[in-house]
Amino acid sequence: MKVRVRFAPSPTGYLHLGSVRTALYNWLFARHNQGKFILRIEDTDEARSTKEAIEVIIEGLKWLGLDWDEGQYYQMQRLEIYKKYAQQLLTEDKAYYCYCLPEELEEIRQSALAEKKPPKYDGRCRYLTAEEKREYETQGRKPVIRFKTARKGETKFVDIIHGEVKFENILLDDFVLLKANGVPTYNFAVVVDDHLMQITDVLRGDDHISNTPRQILLYQAFNWTPPEFAHFPMILGIDHARLSKRHGAVSVLEYRNSGYLPEALINYLALLGWGTTESQDVFTRDELIKKFSLEHCNKAAAVFDPHKLLWLNGHYIRQIPIDKLSEYAFKELRKVGLITNEIDENRQEYIKKALALEQEKIKLLSDIPHLIEFFLKEDITYQEEAVNKVLKVVGVEKILTDLEELLAKETDFHADNLENKVRQYCQEKNLSTKVVFHPLRVAVSGRREGPCLFQMLELLGKECVLKRIEQCKQMITAV
């Protein structure tokens, strides 16, 4: 059969990195095999599923470019389908009505724990007589439907990543298929959906391994062929603890809002549990599709390193053509009010040139406003450290006065010419370049670090440079 995989998130919270990696691996597997990638929203947790969470899931997948071929399907719109198949199991005596009340189930659980046994349902409703059922119904009890799990033998399957996995059936309980309100449980709905949607491969996190034997038993009960299974190892934080918010396990959209590129996040997540024999780190999307295979997925847990993600993001930013980078930059600059919604063509070109000077230093798109704001503001802010360590040095005011006079005479304000003239000044005054360059940089930018000094002067322009040098001298005098 043609490969068909699905991403089936539960909309009970944000779309976090573990879920995104699952979606990515399914998407890559489908694209590598010219198959279909299906989106299914498993929204049967009525108390916790929200419309907002669904919107975040869809927005996150679209931002990452993980497009789906079918869907999105919603389980809560398929309740009649699940009822039909639950009824089939009842008819074939492979399931039964359970009338136990919540307090009775808790009593069963506590009793098992006290006896140091697995806290599972003891099957007391499995063999109810017709009279006993009528009595419960007379009491107004609403039954759930439970599956008749085999009491002996074992259930096994071959996991593509972990190999053969076995479970003793005696350790499994008669799990619920349909709740009293007619809503299916996870294990039942997923089997029905995967069969009807002709899913060939179920690729998911290894926290689902314990669900697999129950699902295999359902496939057998329906006489359906189960899909292939592959369970990915979990993602750990840098301290090898379970990934949490403090490690960066936040909504994928927070990475977007923080200035990460979708290409960088996709590339990095692909490496969390998979790799090539060449130990390649940087992949284009097409390379990921071409090279991805389940056989190269790891059994061991992956470690999420935010520093490597940041490095990778900077790498991708450095590769972006300046026209594309400027589109991102305009959005970031508007967020902080450095530009308005409408900017003329000359201003756009000016910003592009400023970006080009700083592109090598940008690690996050959100870095852009800070890095180039002194190109855009009328009045700059002087860093306290720059003032104390550079401008308060004896002789700096005289150097700035000399430079102001020197630059005022220049008709050629190109970087090469400016550098030659300032270096010539250093030689004539017997001054080291850093003694001259550093005050000049701070005077026109307010900071000790930045792009190439003379390219910066050229872009700022003669009028702006002279004005800022004069303002800086006045500031030095005032302090």
pLDDT at position 247, please?
67
Tell me, yes or no, whether 240 lies in a domain: yes
pLDDT > 70 fraction of the chain, expressed in percent and rounded: 99
Give 95's strand partners.
Answer: 147
Q: Are residues 218 and 239 in the same domain?
A: no
Mean pLDDT score, 382-391: 95
| Mean pLDDT, residues 423-447 | 97
36 is catalytic: no
Q: Which residue has 């990921």 as its token pair?
A: 288
Q: Are 355 and 326 in contact (CB under 8 A)?
A: yes
Q: Which residues pair with 165 in a beta bridge?
A: 157
- Residue that finishes a domain, picked among 232, 258, 290: 232
What integer pLDDT is reported at residue 248 of this predicted model?
Answer: 64
Say what angle helices 17-32 and 51-64 make with each other, to 10 degrees.
50
> From CA 442, how far away is CA 195, in angstroms rounded?
67
Give the tens place of pLDDT for each residue, 71-108.
999 999 999 999 999 999 999 999 999 999 999 999 99
Distance CA 421, CA 439 (A): 16
CATH of residue 341's domain is 1.10.8
* pLDDT the model gives residue 342: 87
Tell me: pLDDT of 380 over 90.
yes
Residues 34 and 62 reside in one and the same domain: yes
Q: Is residue 22 part of a domain?
A: yes
- For residues 372 and 408, membership in a common domain is answered with no
**How would residue 336 be classed by pLDDT, with cut points 50, 70 and 90?**
very high
116 and 217 belong to one structural domain: yes
Handedness of CA 127, 129, 135, 137 (dihedral sign): positive
Instruction: Give the total number of structural domains in the chain.
Output: 4
Residue 316 lies in a domain: no
pLDDT value at 204 more than 80: yes
Instruction: Check whether the bond before 471 is cis (ω within 30° of 0).
Output: no
Write down the mean pLDDT value for the chain.
Answer: 95
Alpha helices (runs of H) in 197-337, residue ranges in sequence order = 212-222, 252-258, 262-270, 285-291, 306-319, 322-335
The answer on 228 and 180 residing in a single domain is: yes
Domain membership flag for residue 72:
yes
Catalytic residue among 245, 324, 377, 398: 245
C-alpha Rg value of the chain to the nearest Å: 32
Looking at the structure, tell me whether residues 58 and 130 fall in a common domain: no
- 160 and 224: one domain? yes
Residues 84 and 205 in one domain: yes
Q: What values do phi and psi take at 225, rounded to 5?
A: -80, 120
The 10s digit of each residue's pLDDT in 217-243 is 999 999 999 999 999 999 998 888 887
pLDDT mean over 426-433? 97
Task: Say whether both 163 and 69 belong to one domain.
Answer: no
Per-residue CA distances from 465 to 266, 436, 438, 445 (Å):
42, 15, 14, 9
For position 5, what pLDDT does the model report?
A: 98
Q: 247 or 27: which carries more pLDDT confidence?
A: 27
368 CB-near residues (< 8 Å, 6+ apart): 259, 328, 329, 332, 333, 355, 358, 362
| Residue with more model confidence, 118 or 186 | 186
Give the tens place of pLDDT for each residue, 304-315.
Answer: 999 999 999 999
Regarding whether 226 and 125 lie in a shared domain, the answer is yes
pLDDT above 80 for 245: no
Enclosing domain of residue 50: 4-77+235-307
- Domain membership of residue 313 (yes or no) is no
- How far is the CA of 12 from the CAs of 43, 51, 53, 203, 266, in angstroms? 8, 9, 6, 20, 23
Handedness of CA 148, 150, 154, 155 (dihedral sign): negative
Residues 283 and 219 placed together within one structural domain of the fold: no
Q: What is the pLDDT of residue 136?
A: 96
In a domain, 312, yes or no: no
CATH number at residue 240: 3.40.50.620
Count Cβ atoms below 10 Å from residue 398 Cβ, excluding itself: 11
Give the pLDDT confidence of 246-303 residue by residue, as tens digits: 766 678 999 999 999 999 999 999 999 999 888 889 999 999 999 999 999 999 999 9
CB 257 within 8 A of CB 67: no
| Four-point Cα dihedral 101, 105, 110, 113, nearest 10 | 170
